[in-house]
Amino acid sequence: MTHDPALDAHEHAEHAEHAAHANDPFISRVSITIAVLAVLAASVSSLENVEEAGAINSASEAVLAQDQATDLWNEYQADSLKKHLYGIAADAGGAKAGKYALTSKEQTAKQDHISGEAKAKESEREALMRASGLHEHRHHWLTGAATMIEIGIAISTVAIITRRRAFWQGSILLGVVGLALLGAAYLV
* pLDDT, tens only, 72-131: 999 999 999 999 998 999 888 888 889 988 988 888 889 999 999 999 999 999 999 999
Q: Which helix (H) or strand (E) holds 22?
A: none
Residue 163, classed as helix, strand or coil, is coil
pLDDT one-digit tens code per residue, 33-51: 999 999 999 999 999 999 9
The better pLDDT of the pair 169, 23 is held by 169
Domain residues of the chain, as ranges? 5-187
Nearest-angstrom CA–CA distance, 77 and 115: 10
Nearest-angstrom CA–CA distance, 135 and 143: 12
Per the CB < 8 A criterion, the answer to whether 73 and 79 are in contact is no
pLDDT category at 23 given cuts 50, 70, 90 is confident
Nearest-angstrom CA–CA distance, 141 and 102: 59
